[in-house]
Amino acid sequence: MKKILLSAVFSVALSIGFINAQEAKREEFKPNGKVLGEVFGDYYYMIKGDTLENGVGGYNKKHKGDNGFSIRRFYLGYKYNFSEKFTAKLMFEGNDDNLLTNGKRSVNIKYAYVRWRNIFSGSDLIIGAQSTPTWSRFTEKIWGYRSVEKTILDYWKQGLSNDLGVSLSGNIVSDGTVRYNFMVGNGAAQKPEFDIFKKVYGSVNARLLNKRLLLELYGDYEQQEFSEDKFTVKGFVGFQNDKLTVGIEPFIKQQSQMVGENIKMNGSTFMARGTIIDQKLFGFAKLDVFKNSDNTNEYLEFSVFGIDYQPVKGVHIMPNVWVTNYNFLNNIVIENGTDVVGRVTFWFKF
């Protein structure tokens, strides 16, 4: 009897101690924050350039032999944790295209939002200027080389990387292998809203078969004035293991017109990246095919490939070659319609 009583007392004491420890752990939380930063840029050399300057992308107005150093993007921000459930993030961005009237680099707001974690089980609510589900939350992470070049919808300016609005994202399957994203925003990116219409975004993505099979289905819809509207549908299928990641990302976009035929755009990207030497040397390649069927009848191809040397974690040096081919543009067959750029890209983040 004494042994039973002692065991019961010991069990109760352990339970009380565990509860007190958990409460103490919760009480130990203190609001905290950290500075965030990321920079990427290049030394570039224009190996070949279209003499008529018909191209697209960051080097379309460059001439053969042009070269220089550039900062293509920098981010500086702060993340603050009010509690275990509430966090906020403020991030500024700038680049060589975002300039003041005196020609010096300027900045704009990239992110300014508050996140309510687990507003209900497995889902977060975000309010403010934030990344959209278009590519930032899944395919850009799989590509892994935004510092080298954008994903297909971003590169061809067929979507928004961030918007001001409200979103809900979370797990469809409790282990996080299948997730959803839903957002309603202004559809104006980093500009103020000037109309009554909103843009709706939605996606479902999955990492199946021990996270080796990667899948996503994405769509967005935006009504505009004069009964015009836009919608985009995009998919992604990929495979990854410890050494290699490959994927294909096709999309279709249509814009209705009050007068004339609807504008249709479509394209696909093929991406690959892999490890050559663990934690030190990597390789990457990407090919885009893009067609715009409005009255410009653009048909363009873009590719980039290179290697990534990482001397220490968070610092990357990446020689790469950037090629845009646009032999058919504005209903004209363009001779010498290719831009070729050799670059050494640097990228660091903290």
What are the sequence ranges of the domains in the chain? 44-349
Beta bridge partners of 271: 247, 286
What does the alpha-carbon distance between residue 256 and residue 223 come to, in Å, rounded to a whole number? 10
What's the confidence (pLDDT) of residue 20? 56
What does the alpha-carbon distance between residue 72 and residue 189 come to, in Å, rounded to a whole number? 19
For the chain, helix (H) and strand (E) counts, in that order, are 3, 17
pLDDT digits (tens, 9 = 90+) for 168-217: 999 999 999 999 999 999 999 989 888 899 999 999 999 999 999 999 99
Give the burial class of 198: count Cβ atoms within 10 A of its Cβ; 0-12 exposed, 13-18 middle, 19 or more buried: middle
pLDDT digits (tens, 9 = 90+) for 87-100: 999 999 998 888 88
Q: Hey, which CATH number is domain 44-349, 3.20.20.80, 2.30.130.30, 2.40.160.10, 3.30.2310.20?
A: 2.40.160.10
The rounded mean pLDDT for the chain is 88
Distances (CA, A) of 72 to 60, 105, 236, 248, 348: 15, 11, 27, 26, 13
**What three-state secondary structure class fits 17?**
helix
pLDDT digits (tens, 9 = 90+) for 118-171: 999 999 999 999 999 999 999 999 999 999 999 999 998 899 999 999 999 999
User: Tokens 């590169």 belong to which residue?
Assistant: 155
pTM to 2 decimal places: 0.86
**What three-state secondary structure class fits 270?**
strand
- Contact assessment for residue 218 and residue 203, using Cβ atoms and an 8 Å cutoff: yes
